[in-house]
Amino acid sequence: MSVADKVVKIIAEQAMLETSDVSLDNSLEDIGIDSLGLVESIFAIEEEFDITIPFNANAPSNSDFDITSVAKIIQGIERLVKEQAA
Amino acid sequence: MKRVVITGAGTINALGHSVAATMEAMREGRCGIGPLEFRDVERLSIQIGGQVRGFEAEGRYNRQQMSLYDRYTQFTLAAAAEAITQSGITFSGETAAKSGVVLGTAGGGVSTWDDNYRAVYEEGKNRVHPFVVPKLMNNAAASHVSMEYNLKGPSFTVSTACASSNHAMAQAFQMVRSGMAPAMLTGGSESMLCFGGVKAWEGLRVMSKDACRPFSANRNGMVQGEGAGIFVFEEYEHARARGAEILCEVAGFAMSSDAADIVMPSKNGAARAMAGALADAGVNPDQVGYINAHGTGTAANDKTECAAVADVFGPHADQLMISSTKSMHGHLIGGTGAVELLACIMALRDGVIAPTIGYEEPDPECALDVVPNEARDASVDLVLSNAFAFGGMNAVLALRKI
C-alpha cells in the first residue's frame, strides 16, 4: 500500500467512512473530523509510519505541517517519511 | 445562613514553599517554570514544568510516613501544617466531631502508579510494596490530614480534573455556611510531574514546549505545575470568638456543567458559573474588581473565557482586571484553584493584583485588562476565582474583603 493509500485508510476510519468516500481535496472538516478526531488521526499516522508530526493542537494553522486538505496531509507525510529514511 | 471566612492558608508550589514566599513571587512576577528533572525526562517531547524544588520529604517525614505518603500527600500535609499554624485553630470535642476536610485532586498518587508500573512491567518484578494502594488512592491526602488534625466530620476528596479544588472548596464553604461544620480544611493538591504523568498530557498536544503565556497572541499551550494549597474555612463568629486573623470572606460560589464536549470548553457553561457565583454572593457584576482566570494558555480556553467574561460583565468587563497566575506556577490541575486562591487573598487583603507574565502580544480575542507582566496596586472589594475543567465541569468562587 502506498503512503497515500495508508493515510486515506486512517482518515476514513477516523471519519467512519469508506475509503472511496474520501477525496484528496476534502478538508478534514468536510468529512466530519473535529479537533479531537484530528489529534487521533495524527497519532494513528505517527504510529503507522513511525514518524513525529510537528503539530500543536492550540494553533494548527501555525504548525509546521499543512492540514488544510487530505492531499496536503499526504504530501507532508511523504516528506517526513523520506526525511526519516534519509 | 452563616458567614464563612478564611483564617489560615498554606501552600507549596513552584513559586515557594510558603504563602509568604508564593505571594512575594507573584508580586515580583517571577516565573517558577523551568526544565523538568526526573527519570526518563529525555524521552519526553515536553520537558518544562512548574516543579517544586528543594522539598526534602526525607527528614520532614519518618520512614513509616514515607511508605504511606505519595508526593501529592507530602505537599498536602506541608501546606496543611502552614494553614493550621496560621489559623491557630485546634480540633477537639464537638468542634472535632463536626469539622472535616474536603480536598481536590485529579490524579492522586500518580508517581506511585508510575513507580510501581515500572517495577512490574519494565523491571519484571512480581511483588510490590504492601502500601501501594493506600498510598496512591485519591483520598489518601484528605485522610492523612484528618488523622493529623483530629478532623472527624465530613471528609472526602473531589475529582473534577482542573476544577477539583474549586469544587472541593465550594463544598467546604457550603458545609460551613449551612451550619453543618464550624470549620473545614479544604483546597487541593497535585503531583503529576513524573514520566507517565507528563507523557499522558503530551498525547493531547496542547502543551507548550517553551512557556505558558495566557492571553498573549503568541501563546502555544499549557505548562503543568505541581503542589498544594490548603485553607481553613471557618464560621465567622467562631473565628471572631477566638480572635483569629481573618484573611477574607468566602462570599459565594456556583458550579455548572457544559454537558457538551469532553475537552472543548463552552462559553455558556463558563458564563453560567460566573453569573451564578455573583448571584449566590448577592452582588452585582460591577462590584467585581478582579478575576483570577482559569487562563491555561491554550487557544481554546483563553478565547472562550474572555468571551464568557464579556457576556457576564458587559461594559464592566473593560473596567475589571483579570490575570492568570498559571504563567508563573504552571497548571496544577486538581490543585490549581487552591494555589490561585492565594492571588485572590493577596488582591483583597494586600491590594496587590498578581500579573499575567509572559505576555508579549495582544490578542483581539482576549482584549481585557490581563495585568500584563507586572503586578499592580489596586484596592478591590470583590474577586472571582475561575476553574473550568475537562469534561465541561466548572466551579467559580466569589471572595470579599473583610
Nearest-neighbour CA in chain B from A35: distance (Å): 9
Rounded to two decimals, the ipTM of the complex is 0.78
Question: What is residue A70's predicted lDDT score, i.e. its pLDDT?
Answer: 96
Residue ranges making up the domain that contains B346: 253-400
Same domain, B154 and B286: no
The H or E element that residue A29 is part of is none
- Rounded CA gap, B163 and B193, in Å? 18
Instruction: Please say which residue of B192, B209, B241 terminates a domain.
Output: B241
Q: Is B331 a catalytic residue?
A: yes
Taking phi over 0 as left and psi of -120 to 50 as alpha, with beta for the rest, B146 belongs to: alpha
- B-chain CB neighbours of A52 within 8 Å are 45
Is residue B215 assigned to a domain? Answer: yes
User: Where does the pLDDT of residue B278 fall: very low under 50, low under 70, confident under 90, or very high at 90 and above?
Assistant: very high
pLDDT at B193 > cutoff 80: yes
Query: Is B294 a residue of the active site?
Result: yes
Amino acid at B346: M
With contact defined as beta carbons under 8 Å apart, do B111 and B197 qualify?
A: yes
Q: Which residues contact B192 (CB under 8 A, 6 or more apart)?
A: B106, B107, B110, B198, B201, B224, B226, B333
| Averaged pLDDT for residues B359-371 | 97
How does pLDDT run across A12-68, given as a tens digit for each residue?
999 999 999 999 999 999 999 998 899 999 999 999 999 999 888 887 777 778 999
| Per-residue model confidence as pLDDT tens digits over B332-354 | 999 999 999 999 999 999 999 99
Mean pLDDT of chain B, nearest integer: 97
Q: Is B356 within a domain? A: yes
| Set of cell numbers at residue B35 | 526544565
Would you tell me how many other CB atoms lie within 10 Å of the CB of residue B179? 11
Q: Are residues B197 and B64 in the same domain?
A: yes
CATH code of the domain covering residue B301: 3.40.47.10
Residue B370 domain-assigned (yes or no): yes
Please list, in sequence order, all residues whose beta carbon lies within 8 angstroms of the beta carbon of residue B32, skipping any fewer than 6 positions away.
B13, B14, B15, B25, B50, B225, B328, B329, B330
More confident position, B163 or A86: B163
3-state DSSP of chain B: CCCEEEEEEEEEECCECCHHHHHHHHHHCCCCCEECCCCCHHHCCCCEEECCCCCCHHHHECHHHHCCCCHHHHHHHHHHHHHHHHHCCCCCHHHHHHCEEEEECCCCCHHHHHHHHHHHHHCCCCCCCCCHHHHHCCCHHHHHHHHHHCCCCCCEEECCHHHHHHHHHHHHHHHHHCCCCCEEEEEEEECCCCHHHHHHHHCCCCECCCCCCCCCCCCCCECEECEEEEEEEEEHHHHHHCCCCCCEEEEEEEEEECCCCCCCCCHHHHHHHHHHHHHHHCCCHHHCCEEECCCCCCHHHHHHHHHHHHHHHHHHHHCCEEECCHHHHCECHHHHHHHHHHHHHHHHHHCEECCECCCCCCCHHHCCECCECCCEECCCCEEEEEEECCCCEEEEEEEECC
Q: Which residue of A has its CA nearest to B296?
A: A58
Residue B221 to chain A, least CA–CA distance (Å) = 6
Contact B372, B229 (CB under 8 A): no
Nearest to B206 among A43, A58, A62 (CB): A58
User: Over the stretch B65-119, which tens digit does the pLDDT of each residue have?
Assistant: 999 999 999 999 999 999 999 999 999 999 999 999 999 999 999 999 999 999 9
How many domains does the structure of chain B reveal? 2
- pLDDT, position A56: 85
Q: Is the pLDDT of residue B285 over 90?
A: yes
Are B156 and B17 in a shared domain? yes
Measured between beta carbons, the chain B residues lying within 8 angstroms of A42 are 205
Contacts of B217 in chain A (CB under 8 A): none
Q: Report the residue from B45, B203, B220 with minimal CB separation from A58.
A: B220
Instruction: Identify which of B322, B324, B296 has the alpha carbon closest to the alpha carbon of residue B309.
Output: B322
Residue ending a domain, choose from B241, B273, B296: B241
On whether residue B158 sits in a domain, the answer given is yes
Map residue A48 onto helix, strand or coil: helix
For residue B247, being part of any structural domain is answered with no
* Domain finish residue from B187, B206, B241: B241
What is the least distance, in Å, from the CA of B218 to any CA of chain A? 9
pLDDT in the model for residue A84 = 86
pLDDT-above-90 percentage for chain B: 99
Determine how many CB atoms are found less than 10 A away from the CB of residue A75. Answer: 16
Q: Is position B185 within any domain?
A: yes
Q: What is the CATH number of domain A3-85?
A: 1.10.1200.10
* Chain B contact present for A43, CB below 8 A: yes
A45 contacts in chain B (CB < 8 Å): none
Is pLDDT of B150 > 80? yes
The residue assigned the cell 483579570 is B322
Predicted confidence band of residue A86 (pLDDT cuts 50, 70, 90):
confident
pLDDT of residue A65: 87
Task: Please say if the pLDDT value at position B315 is more than 90.
Answer: yes
Pick the catalytic residue from B144, B167, B294, B329.
B294
In a domain, B248, yes or no: no
Q: What percent of chain B has pLDDT over 70?
A: 100
**Same domain for B101 and B37:** yes
Given a cut of 80, whether residue B148 has pLDDT beyond it is: yes
Residue B50 has pLDDT above 80, yes or no: yes
A58 touches chain B (CB under 8 A): yes
Tell me, what's the pLDDT at B183?
98
Band (pLDDT 50/70/90 cuts) for residue B59 is confident
| pLDDT confidence bin for B124, thresholds 50/70/90 | very high
Give the residue on A whose Cα is nearest the Cα of B217: A59
| Domain regions of chain A by residue span | 3-85
The torsion defined by the Cα of B280, B170, B293 and B20, in degrees rounded to 10, comes to: 120
Q: What's the pLDDT score for residue B106?
A: 98
